[in-house]
A and B are shown apart, each in its own frame.
Chain A
Amino acid sequence: MAQLTFREAISRGIAQEMRRDETVLAIGEDIGAAGGVFKGTVGLFEEFGPLRVRDTPISEQAILGAAMGAAMTGLKPIAEIMFSDFFAVCWDIVVNEIAKSRYMTNGQVTFPLVIRSGNGGGLRFGAQHSQSVENWAMMVPGLKVVVPSNALDVIGLMAAAVRDPDPVIFLEAKALYASKMDVPDGDIVDTLGTAKLLRQGSDATLVALGAMVPKALKAAEELATAGINCTVVDVRSLVPLDTATILREVSATGRLFTVEENPRLCGWGGELSSIVSEEIFYDLDGPIVRITTPHIPLPAADALEDMAIPSVQRIVSTVSESMSA
């Protein structure tokens, strides 16, 4: 057992897979000797050398194109896009090339690759370095999308993503990089497409993702003192989506609150709310409520950013108002 930060868990997860399989390689800007701008790849260059941990130019299309070409010819690349906002300059490779090619070729090619990226707000970086883009990826047929919320899951889901034969977008909540937890020694391998039940209550179900998970847990503690007992589910994987766990836990309490960092429109909670309405409508005891960032670009000032992203306080007040209405 060792206490690990979220950022240390990233390099531990990658190292675990690189030791196991020499076709696993890492590429990205400043990931080598520098260890990554978020220090997510510290130690990899020293252990695996420049041929397996490769610095690239500031060429996001080339980074992801190279990852794709390598994946379709026998390697398992882990490519880093420094900030997920930068997906906008290489989205063609992700959406048109990586996501579609297996289908278009009638299964002739596979893409066992992982694209990691620092995602979301909380660091006061302003609108071009703070967006939560998981929904961009979720809506594209052919992409798997994983968003861990703690160090243990980072390692296990990274291993699962690397071992998965399909392309996985692995989004690392920047707000969580410094968070710590105790992690067991030895190899850790998790399963894609599994949500995690973190807390069980009888009154309402909070379904959260990434950096919103610790906030939902904290809110659930506060709500419990006010007599509202909440279930908290960590979605972890948007694609594949563990609807079995989520529907079961929503049925059990009769209320669904989603906690989403993304701007309002077309957030994953909208899809979830549609699934719940179609499939377990008669189990609901009240309206589905989505707690999201408003539909705005994220502001830089700490005071403004804190108002925009769902806070523990906003979760608590939204849930308690809705439950007492």
Chain B
Amino acid sequence: MTAPASAPALDLNAKLELYRMQVALRQFETRAYDLFLENYVKGTSHLSLGQEAIAAGFAAAMRPDDYTFATYRGHAHTLARGVPMTPVLAELMGRTNGLMAGKGGSMHLTSVEHGVMGSYAIIGAHLPIACGAAWSAQYRGTEQVAVCFFGDGSTNIGAFHEALNLAAIWKLPVVFVCENNLWMEYTRTTEITAVANPAADRASAYGLESIIVDGNDVDAVYEVAERAMTRARAGEGPSLIEALTYRHGGHSRADPGKYRPDAEVAEWMAKDPIPMYHARLLAEGATEAQLVEIELSVAAQVDQATEEAKAGPIPGADLLMKDVWADGGSAWRN
């Protein structure tokens, strides 16, 4: 284990940006939920309300050319890499101005130009894929890092273990981030997992340090991310980080999450990352006016994205048969 070098301390401006990002993720997803209830957002969506600090903290530690691999709960990770709100919201609404012109939907947000290499909806599948991107960076000698986010429930699928082992033996520049929100869909993860800490307790099986971080504290997330990224860039191999957090709402769509005890929900609502950070920034010298300005400007941004997404054209038949193959078409015969 290398000595944990301390991450460079963030100045107040950088912290205000972390605050802005978390507020943006919160307001965006709150709007997405409202639009779901109004039937503008169809199908399914999985929100990260309450988990914003992880996306914001990691994205701040990443280089623009680093790779993000996310799950179906991927709106926050996509936006955190700098993808604008309008195409993300339009994608949720199935419009042509969507990030993938409506062909992927909420669960598959991808923006290669921002390093968002996809959001994957088959549990665990993207961990080996992130290994592949890291292998490619290693072979090409680019010092890029792949960061792969997944849930606590995902630590029980085989692909998790195959990926961890491969990353360890090939010393791949990949950072695995388990967002432990205590629940898989409707089952408490500790009830179906052999160990108490689903990711951290598995780390030693792959020769990795056991790392747990408060996933609701963006500064702590940033610091642990920065350390893991530095280690990966230096060729010292992968990291596995377990970030403790909680989703404020249900698993998906209109799930009210009633299977969760009230006291547990209350405990975690009190640890909401955004009010916590708000208070910390005031203590560290930010003014209330600065924070309010951030909140209002984000609100205006969300309103504008909503209007732009709603104005987006409905996809036409030209898109249906497009891009099965690299030649842009879908022909399987001559």
Contact = CB atoms under 8 A, between A and B. Distances in A.
Interface string B116-141: 01101010011111111111110110
Contact of B110 (A66, A104, A243): A104
Contact of A105 (B104, B132, B139, B325): B104
A313 interface: no
B132 A65 contact: yes
Nearest to B165: A57
Contacts of B122: 92, 96-97
A262 interface: no
Contact of A66 (B108, B128, B333): B128
B100 A73 contact: no
A69 B129 contact: yes
B296 interface: no
Contact of A103 (B131, B170, B323): B323
B244 to A, nearest CB: 27
B140 A74 contact: yes
B325 A51 contact: no
Interface string A236-279: 00011111100000000000000000000000000000010000
Contacts of A108: 100, 110-112
B111 A73 contact: no
Contacts of A51: 139
Contact of A240 (B103, B120, B328, B334): B334
Contacts of B246: none
A243 B334 CA distance: 6
A114 B137 CA distance: 19
Interface in B320-334: 322-328, 330-334
A92 B157 CA distance: 12
A69 B134 contact: yes
Query: Which of A56, A57, A92, A107 has the most C-beta atoms of chain B within 10 angstroms of its own C-beta?
Result: A107
A239 B333 CA distance: 7
A68 interface: yes
Contacts of A37: none
Contacts of B137: 73
B104 A106 contact: yes
B162 A62 contact: yes
B158 interface: yes
Interface residues of A, number: 49
B211 interface: no
A115 to B, nearest CB: 13
Contacts of B104: 104-106
Nearest to B322: A107
Contacts of A240: 331-334
Query: Which of B104, B137, B332 has the most C-beta atoms of chain A within 10 angstroms of its own C-beta?
Result: B332
A144 to B, nearest CB: 8
Contact of B169 (A25, A57, A165, A166): A57
Contact of B125 (A70, A97, A103, A242): A97
A135 interface: no
Contacts of B99: 106
A61 B159 contact: yes
Interface in A163-196: 164-166, 193
B92 interface: no
A73 B125 CA distance: 17
B218 interface: no
Q: Sort A-B residue pairs by CB-CB distance and give the 10 closest, nearest first.
A: A69-B132, A65-B128, A165-B326, A107-B323, A59-B162, A62-B162, A66-B132, A69-B133, A106-B100, A73-B136
Interface of A: 25, 51, 54, 56-57, 59, 61-62, 64-75, 77, 92-93, 96-97, 101-110, 112, 141-142, 164-166, 193, 239-244, 275
17 contacts: A57-B165, A65-B127, A65-B129, A69-B136, A70-B139, A71-B132, A72-B133, A73-B67, A74-B136, A75-B136, A75-B140, A105-B100, A107-B322, A107-B323, A108-B111, A142-B325, A241-B334
